[in-house]
Amino acid sequence: MDSALKSLRGINYIDLTESDSSIEKEGDLNDLLSLCYYHNSNLLLLSEKNLSSDFYNLKSGLAGAAMQKFANYQAKVAIILATNAEQSNRFKELMFEMSRSNHFRFYDNREDAEIWLTT
């Protein structure tokens, strides 16, 4: 997966927002965790283009697998979604549940996502 290691206030995080890589299968989650290990950072910044249509389709189980895997490995993930992005009501419910944990947050802008990741 293409990524960039960035830093804010001396804290490193992995930025995939400018990458064409996307989470299409559970194996991609392992690749992301490998990136974390390689860069010695458990902080990930993703955008909606890094999420495949299967991620949004809750029947696929991909979003749930991501939520569980990242929580198990103590990864902190911020996802930037446009405010006008279309999501199903079920996915919005999952977003709400995911945001209640300390591992996931959804933002409509990069600045807020970076601040949450690095605090």
CB atoms within 10 A of CB 114: 21
Among 31, 30, 35, which Cα is nearest to 15's?
A: 35
pLDDT of res. 1: 65
Low-confidence residues in the chain, pLDDT < 70: 1, 85
Per the structure, how many domains does the chain have?
A: 1
Q: Which domain holds residue 43?
A: 4-117
pTM of the prediction?
0.91
CATH number assigned to the domain comprising residue 83 = 3.30.750
pLDDT of res. 41: 96
